[in-house]
Chain A
Amino acid sequence: MAYLELKNVCKTYGDESGDTEVLSNINLTIEEGEFVAIVGFTGSGKTTLVNLINGLIKPTSGEILFKGIPVVDTSHERGVIFQNYSLLPWLTVGQNVYMAVKEAFPKEQKSVLQKRVADYVEMVSLTPAINKRPKELSGGMRQRVAVARALAMNPEMIIMDEPLGALDALTRGNLQDEILNIWSKDKRTALLITNDVDEGIYMADRIIPLKPGPNATLGPEFKIDIGRPRDKTALNDNPKYKETRNAIIEYLMDIGEQRKSVSDETYELPEISPKSFVA
């Protein structure tokens, strides 16, 4: 039995002007311990897909099974790292993490919980900032808090919605390694949503492109056959890496071309020329 299974999942958003099918016929199977990346263009329905798997929204049709049981609500078993950190600005770093921990382990004693908070804040190396509020932190630090918050709840599966999208390249690299570390340490299952093919190849076992919406659906999967731990610098010279990367990018480019050719609208540009101040 698959760990997480999506069967013919469709999601439509309706308004007065009619329904828009954002996701159509999504079929996805993730095995326990796997690291799967879904790569797609911006606005292709990635966040909708994540929210479906989280249980934040319900599919219009189709089924989502988590360990064989349909997903109807959010669960502590599936930890989420949101795209925009979503920290509560009136709480400190420690309080933000503590709130999550307290919900995940309601029966534990306060001292045990606090120890846990301290451990996870330490893990993302934010101990000096534990009493600071989100506004005093940089973007990378905030994202690390979000990572600590999600992981401190000890979820079986980590779902990441473009967690590193807003970060600079250096911080991004560091956090990628941190997430990989945590994932490999106790072999959790991970689903990464990203728009960065390189990030996907570096981190995941499988990459599945998402054809852009409306009517977004999953494309053919690409297996990443590169041994772990992967070395970022060595990766560039790895022929397998190049091959996979090219294949995925070619596929995405093709979709992009198709998308362009679908819309045959022409835009008339206004006739304007720079004004001359000399004469």
Chain B
Amino acid sequence: MERIKEVLNNFDMEYVEDYKPTWVKAKLKNKDDITKVVKALKEVGIRSCSTVSPTDFPEENRMEINYFLEDIVNKKNVWLKVDIDRDLDKCEIDSITPILESADYHELESYSTFGVKFKGHPNLRYFLISRDYYGKFPFRKDFDWEEHEKHLIENVNAIAEEFFEEYEENEKTVGHEDSRTVLHWGPTHPASGPIRLKVYTNGENIEKVEPDIGYVWRALEKLSERKDFIGTIVAVERVCFMDNTNPMICYAQAVEEIAGKEITPFAKYMRVILGELGRTVSHLISMGGFFGTMGLQTFLMWCLDVREYFLDALEDYSGARIATACIEPGGVRYPLNDYKAWFEEINKAIEKWEKTKPDIEDIFLKNPLMTTRAKNKGIFSHEDVIDNYLQGPIARASGVKTDVRIDEPYAAYGELKMDYVTCENGDARDRLEIIYKEINQSIDLIKQAMVKIEEGIEKGEMDPKKDHLVKMPRRMPAGEAVSRVEWARGEMLMHLVTTEKSTNPYRLKIKAPSVNHTRMLEKLIPGHSLSDIPLLYGSMHICQGDLDR
């Protein structure tokens, strides 16, 4: 920590201060220094860029850019701020992508939505946004949404026009002479979901892959600025429905930090249980989907069967199967009127999983055909993980010990017994196995948390009917907060900015892991054959919901 501060103090800083146990917060005075600072930080081990988040202040005519830089090995992070001019022609800064690769897509995103030009970016282009927003930078505060909305049909036609132009261009550049062609893997493809991979193939061999994203772009970050602090959880949980509880925990923590409130121990343990239920539900689909990519539906069906029982538990508590909206700033939303009945429900689900486990191990995890296909395919080394900032299960499958639940304990994770779950090889098969191991870990955590709650209630320390929620102020003070959780697919980071006496977020940046994982496809897939696309894609456990937001 001291070392990082020393490095930062070598430069012209407005302030350098500690923020949470693992962060250093600093503000740079001169935007031209940014590449030098990042280079110096890289030398002390900070090699991953989590995200780049601009915040627009039109009154002060400045754009504040927040860099979240992380050292995933030594768990030291830097939150670096810098102000730049807001006017479109002067709104530019040096790109850090040549130094930290993992900033690539995040910078593109900032450019497309805020118009921050990153000088020196290897391929600065519009990204994520649909064509009708090209050159309009929709996340700026002064962008006129209503006006834009009036021309719906023209906008959609413009988007379609882009596809036609691309087709013409492919006709010209690829031609019909040899065995080269461009395949569009998605968005209508049976295994893709709403993402499009432009696959340049030569026969069955893949030469190049370009992901085209934005098919489920809902502008959640902008949407949350229009909702109040409670209403934002509706937007936040829709980041991805597969694991919908953890994003809400992340958001709620950020709001609580700004309001300066501490939640009750009961609510903390409830968050652990709900979060781990969400993770299990998501992992079950990921695990089944992995086999689905190889044309085997049985495992997916078995996983769905188990998943229903976990959804029952969520439904029992919140009244909804997957759109639970059960965690809000201040704790958890509902009191637990009959905690024994609910625990019984969870135990039923766990029992179902334990019963299915031996079959899963024997038939699927040891399946010889799966092993021949997935073993030694798409290996990520330690360095790959750090440089490209792969997170969550993908990183842990390569043996990198990173897990926000342990590195920066939130909710009640600090009081529970848990250890990093890792695999060694980092190939596609390990990325399946890690998921299986993590489900077991989650279930262990749920059990521990249930015991703690039961003990607490027996001792009279917790009251499940009253302790669930702390009263939050209606209007928030000005401030900003960064909150991280370990989401089912990796680290989720939210950067919340509020203004004085505000009723709604001023800016909410949601950083989700699938962005980096999708970027990795560009390097992962070329060189393999056409049959490997679904397998490798499935092994990255990408969800388009959090990719596009």
Query: Are both chains from one complex?
Result: no
B contact residues vs A (CB 8 Å cutoff): none
